[in-house]
Amino acid sequence: MLFTLGIGMHVHAEDAASLTTGVSYNRDVRPILAEHCFACHGPDDEHRKADLRLDSQDDVTRAGVIKPGDAGASELVKRLKSQDPDEMMPPPESGVLSQAEKDVLSEWINLGAEYQKHWAFEPVVKSALPRVSDQSWCVNPIDQFVFKRLEDEGLRPSDQAHRAVLIKRLYIDLIGLLPTPDQVDAFLADDSENAYETVVDELLTSKHYGERWGRHWLDQARYADSNGYTFDNARVMWPYRNWVIDAINDDMPFDEFTVVQLAGDLLPDPTKEQLTATGFHRNTLINEEGGTDAEQFRVESVIDRTNTTGTVWLALTVGCAQCHNHKFDPVSQRDYYSLFAFFNNTADRNNRGPEVTFRNPHAEEIADLDRQLAALKIEEKERAVIDAAKPEEWTVLEPVEAKSASNASFETLQDQSLLVSGPNPIEETYEVIYRAEKGTVAAFQIDVLPHEALPKGGPGRASNGNFVMVDVQFDDADGNELQLEPVAIADYSQSQYDVSLAVDEDLESGWAINTNQKGNVAHWAKFLLVDPIVLEKTTDLRLRMRFHQGSQPYNLGRFRLSSSARRPQVDLIPLRRKDLEAKKRKLEAGIVKSMVMRELEKPRVTHLLTRGDFLRPAESVQPAVLGNLHQWHKSEQPLNRLDLARWLVDEGNPLTPRVVVNRMWEKFFGVGLVETVEDFGVQGATPSHPDLLDWLAAEFVDRGWSQKQIHRLIVTSATYRQSSNARDDLEREDPLNRLMGRQNRLRVDAEIVRDLALSASGKLVSTIGGPSVYPPQPAGVYAFTQKKKNWPTSQGPDRFRRTMYTFFYRSSPHPMLTAFDAPRFNVTCTRRGRSNTPLQSLMVANDPGLFELNEALAARAVSEEKDEQMQLKHMFRLALCRYPTPQELEFLQTFLHDQKRKFSNRMPGLEAKASNSAIVAVARVLMNLDEFITRE
């Protein structure tokens, strides 16, 4: 084993597969050839040197550079050993092979130089379970594979972790939150055989499970709340996030999960949910900078969709073939653009493009307005020609009786106008009876007039002389309301206070005249009757006006009424349309739409792009799947995205199930069975447990692509339940822990750092889904952005929502997220980094948003426990989910007392505050521990 580790330094130190003896092409030889030879002697015919291919047995045999069974006689080996710069391979400037690597190649040739197809492109074969010496350790088949490998290396697995560690591990891995001390106690006390499984099943049905695992998927979907690039304006895409959470919670089978996201729009009669799901590929960037070429950025988004699909489903770096044939994997440049062609037909073009209406709370009212607008259109066509030659004639009406709701006084002036004085309430109604002479009434005019008795000269009684008339109504002699046109006309309306608002149904909006701008001068408003009335004799008509605005009086001070037998010669249709449209816009503000994929009716022709440059199209290509990997027979041509999606999750596809279960493994153990979760190609790592990987992949498909079932299988395995503590023998024999003789301690994801703090402090608001929120962030975040972003810090419950709902601006994410390795979501991310930096320390130690939670944890402990020692213990358990050791408790007590003393000195006379600060200091220490942000 030490021999192979020696090789490992240059091949794959992490590649535990090389820990067994013998030479295998896939395991030992191909990585060396791929690293040093294939770039010039591989599948890329454009860059091939000396017309020699070393990746195919046929070519090698034809060229005669290898004599199977005789390394000494093989040209290849001679070249490797040569010191002559003209002859040696690889050429001097390209680096050299280690002696160990040369030995591997020689041994392989001596053993017959057998080639194998790259392991990941071979069909998945569900292997038989290995026999192990100690079946009792094994809980399920996973363990047999793991135990066998350990056994072969003379190693034993680790003991099961302490139950307190186990339950915390399960909570963090499955839902990303902490168990409460009560939940921990219940588990510790449950001595039934399936106590552990009970917790697992509870967590798998928790709605937070969808958040936790949805978040992992959103990394791959490169979900963000802004457009990226230059301006990085906000966008609405959270309905897609909702969809993901729901789908994961419902355990939507992964094949269906794939099809709806890649091609939900192409399903027959797609549902709203299926359309929303296609947002997966609408998470691409949009460049809103002035002077951009929309086509350029459309092509960028198609490239991104192609590459993302390759990485997420196939773990293939298809993007390598954008400019030239792939140097290592069977993807030609033509193959690349054939994949590209699947995504090249959508209607979006560096813009929001097609959308689905996710929510429309006023749908019926909007539909009604649409009907009115349609009717108006017909009316407009059929209306009579307006006779502009006959102007209206106005007759001033005589007021005979006036009263107000507040008993204000009315004085009739010489011009028949009324001047109001006395009570001036915040809400007011005037009712005035006017005497109209015999004749026709088709319209009324209200003149609002200034007067020296009014504030600033009126015409209103507000302190600036303004008024807000929220409603106007006219009644005939029998008290029947005369129907008015829904639009009125005025010589002037203040912005946002159009006169038509006085004849709508809304008693909060109305007509006003902005005296600051126009001065305290006279204005008029005209109200039109739908049907003119004919008065047979002198008749009393009633005018009713209401006034209201905020918390100050806005009543009218002086006014006069006139009537006209002829309607004013105005075209009301545009006014009515404007009115309806304004109403519609107001209602439409409540609509939530999400971007979706939609196919163009006339497909674009896809060209191979020379060197990936969209300005250099070459021959045209048709959509086609990667037939080299997995054949797909379908009669109808041409293929579309739906075919691609179905091909990806077709039963025989060797990559998709392996790739998906491997990513699950990576989340539960920190490292995938194939370490390069994003690259299963020739250049990627080889699996540590190939049989286990295949068994899981097959099991996944057999179980109807149920992610939950595989999760359950993994977390109930003995392998998963092992302690993560270091062990000297493992440290020596398998320092990277690829054989899984123990669990790994893993620092939690960026979002989970804060979620754990929310959860420990009891502040978490567990609402699922919805628009993104704005928890506090440190000052100065936007000092470095081109546009200052809108960050209305949430004050209510939204302040304490899970961090996956924090609004994500691609150009300036919340600093806590970037400090803890959250991706920026410009491109897909299948695996996050896990760094450990001083900026993280500053973040957890000092961030005001987190400090708030330190305080909340302290307050919670104080309110839930009485005595000091119990409070310390409780706080410890809330944060770390275990009991402190006696040494830890003693240390904390000493620390608490010391801090109390120091705070008392700092704040003399404020004992209670000092005491509280000291306990907050303890909470702050606990939340800053490595253990707090680590899944053990």
Partner 1 sequence: MSYEDRFSQLATRRQLFRDCGVGLGGIALSSLLNGSCAQADTAQGHAGVLHHPATAKNVILLFMAGGPSQLELFSHKPKLNELHGKETPKKFIEGKRFSFLGKDAKLLGSTRKFKRCGESGTEISELLPYHQKIADKLCFIHSMNTDVFNHGPAKIFMNSGNPQPGRPSMGSWVTYGLGSECQNLPGFVVLQSGPRGPRAGAALWSSGFLPSKYQGVPFRSTGDPIVNLTSPPDFSGDLRRDFHDAVAELNRKRLQATGDREIETRIAAYEMAYRMQSSAPDLMDIGAESQQTLDRYGAEVGGASYANNCLLARRLVERGVRFVQLYHTDWDHHGGPGQTLGKDLEKCCSQVDQASAALIQDLEDRGLLDETLVIWTGEFGRTPMGETRNQKVGGRDHFIDAYTLWMAGGGVKPGVSYGATDDLGLSVTEKPVHVRDLHATVLHSLGIDHEKFSVKFQGLKMRLTGVEEAKVIHDILT
The amino acid at residue 302 is V
The reply on whether position 535 binds partner 1 by CB under 8 A is no
Q: Which residue's structure tokens are 């991104």?
A: 304
Nearer to partner 1, 159 or 599 (CB): 159
How many CA atoms, within 13 angstroms, populate the side-chain half-sphere of residue 510? 21
The reply on whether position 160 binds partner 1 by CB under 8 A is no
The beta-strand segments (E) located in 413-495 are: 418-421, 427-436, 439-448, 469-475, 489-490
The reply on whether position 96 binds partner 1 by CB under 8 A is yes
Footprint (CB under 8 A) of partner 1, residues 867-896: 885, 887-888, 891, 895
Nearest distance from C-beta of residue 748 to partner 1, angstroms: 12
SS3 content of the chain, % helix, strand, coil (to 5): 45, 10, 45
Options 200-208, 511-519, 622-630, 916-924: segment touching partner 1 (CB under 8 A): 916-924
164, 192 Cβ separation under 8 angstroms? no
525, 562 Cβ separation under 8 angstroms? no
Options 418-426, 479-487, 766-774, 835-843: segment touching partner 1 (CB under 8 A): 835-843
793, 246 Cβ separation under 8 angstroms? no
426, 548 Cβ separation under 8 angstroms? yes
Footprint (CB under 8 A) of partner 1, residues 225-244: 228-232
Binder of partner 1 out of 9, 374, 413, 530 (CB under 8 A): 9
Nearer to partner 1, 691 or 847 (CB): 847
Residues 901 and 905: their CA atoms lie apart, in Å, by 6
Nearer to partner 1, 344 or 417 (CB): 344
Binder of partner 1 out of 746, 756, 857, 875 (CB under 8 A): 746
The amino acid at residue 49 is K
What is the per-residue binding string for partner 1 in 591-630, x denoting contact by CB under 8 A?
A: ------------------------x---------------
Binder of partner 1 out of 353, 425, 532, 670 (CB under 8 A): 670
Footprint (CB under 8 A) of partner 1, residues 36-55: none
The reply on whether position 685 binds partner 1 by CB under 8 A is yes
Binder of partner 1 out of 785, 790, 863, 869 (CB under 8 A): 785
Residue 431 tokens, joined: 């009712």
Nearest distance from C-beta of residue 1 to partner 1, angstroms: 16
Size of the site for partner 1 (CB under 8 A): 113
337, 608 Cβ separation under 8 angstroms? yes
Binder of partner 1 out of 737, 761, 772, 794 (CB under 8 A): 737
Closest alpha carbon to 114 in 206, 244, 234, 26: 26
Looking at 599-649, list the stretches that DSSP marks H as alpha helix, in order from N- to C-terminal side. 641-648
The reply on whether position 85 binds partner 1 by CB under 8 A is no
Binder of partner 1 out of 26, 333, 346, 676 (CB under 8 A): 676
Written as one string, the DSSP assignment of 795-811 is: -SGGGGS-GGGB---TT
Q: Is the peptide bond before 459 cis (omega within 30 degrees of 0)?
A: yes
Binder of partner 1 out of 178, 449, 925, 935 (CB under 8 A): 925
800, 774 Cβ separation under 8 angstroms? no
Residues 198 and 194: their CA atoms lie apart, in Å, by 6
Footprint (CB under 8 A) of partner 1, residues 290-309: 290-293, 300, 304
Q: Which residue's structure tokens are 């973040």?
A: 843
Nearer to partner 1, 176 or 681 (CB): 681
Residue 159 tokens, joined: 């003991």
Nearest distance from C-beta of residue 529 to partner 1, angstroms: 49
The reply on whether position 931 binds partner 1 by CB under 8 A is yes
Binder of partner 1 out of 362, 567, 703, 831 (CB under 8 A): 831
Written as one string, the DSSP assignment of 393-429 is: -EEEPEEEEEEETT--EEEE-TTS-EEEES---SEEE
Residue 76 tokens, joined: 């290849």
The DSSP element (H or E) to which 898 belongs, if any, is: helix 886-906
The reply on whether position 59 binds partner 1 by CB under 8 A is no
Closest alpha carbon to 178 in 150, 151, 212, 147: 212
Binder of partner 1 out of 270, 319, 399, 623 (CB under 8 A): 319
Nearest distance from C-beta of residue 355 to partner 1, angstroms: 24
Nearer to partner 1, 561 or 819 (CB): 819
Q: Would you call 282 exposed, middle or buried from its count of C-beta atoms within 10 A (0-12, 13-18, 19+)?
A: buried
The reply on whether position 251 binds partner 1 by CB under 8 A is no
The reply on whether position 289 binds partner 1 by CB under 8 A is yes
The reply on whether position 834 binds partner 1 by CB under 8 A is yes
Residue 921 tokens, joined: 């200091």
Footprint (CB under 8 A) of partner 1, residues 12-31: 12-14
Footprint (CB under 8 A) of partner 1, residues 896-915: 898-899, 902-903, 906
Nearer to partner 1, 458 or 672 (CB): 672
Residues 247 and 258: their CA atoms lie apart, in Å, by 11
Residue 278 tokens, joined: 């296609």
The reply on whether position 790 binds partner 1 by CB under 8 A is no
Q: Would you call 18 exposed, middle or buried from its count of C-beta atoms within 10 A (0-12, 13-18, 19+)?
A: buried
Closest alpha carbon to 730 in 744, 742, 722: 742
Footprint (CB under 8 A) of partner 1, residues 329-348: 329
Binder of partner 1 out of 412, 826, 893, 915 (CB under 8 A): 826
Binder of partner 1 out of 84, 191, 784, 886 (CB under 8 A): 784
Options 262-270, 360-368, 508-516, 740-748: segment touching partner 1 (CB under 8 A): 740-748
Closest alpha carbon to 38 in 686, 683, 684: 683
Binder of partner 1 out of 223, 238, 705, 851 (CB under 8 A): 851
Binder of partner 1 out of 22, 154, 838, 908 (CB under 8 A): 838
Cβ-based neighbour number of residue 494 at 10 Å: 18
Instruction: Identify the sign of the CA torsion 854, 857, 862, 865.
Output: negative
Determine the distance from the C-alpha atom of residue 524 to the mean position of all C-alpha atoms in its chain, rounded to a whole number. 53
End-to-end Cα spacing for the chain: 29
Nearest distance from C-beta of residue 902 to partner 1, angstroms: 6
Binder of partner 1 out of 44, 251, 335, 675 (CB under 8 A): 675
Nearer to partner 1, 176 or 684 (CB): 684
Footprint (CB under 8 A) of partner 1, residues 762-781: 778-781
Cβ-based neighbour number of residue 908 at 10 Å: 8
Binder of partner 1 out of 567, 745, 799, 874 (CB under 8 A): 745
Residues 133 and 139: their CA atoms lie apart, in Å, by 14
Look at strands 523-535 and 558-564 and give their pairing: unpaired
Residues 860 and 875: their CA atoms lie apart, in Å, by 8
The reply on whether position 82 binds partner 1 by CB under 8 A is no
The reply on whether position 99 binds partner 1 by CB under 8 A is no
How many CA atoms, within 13 angstroms, populate the side-chain half-sphere of residue 841? 5
The reply on whether position 68 binds partner 1 by CB under 8 A is no
Nearest distance from C-beta of residue 653 to partner 1, angstroms: 19
Footprint (CB under 8 A) of partner 1, residues 116-135: none
The reply on whether position 812 binds partner 1 by CB under 8 A is yes
Footprint (CB under 8 A) of partner 1, residues 191-210: none
Options 20-28, 81-89, 131-139, 725-733: segment touching partner 1 (CB under 8 A): 725-733
Nearer to partner 1, 43 or 684 (CB): 684
The reply on whether position 632 binds partner 1 by CB under 8 A is no
628, 339 Cβ separation under 8 angstroms? no
Binder of partner 1 out of 42, 510, 623, 681 (CB under 8 A): 681
Nearest distance from C-beta of residue 796 to partner 1, angstroms: 23
587, 359 Cβ separation under 8 angstroms? no
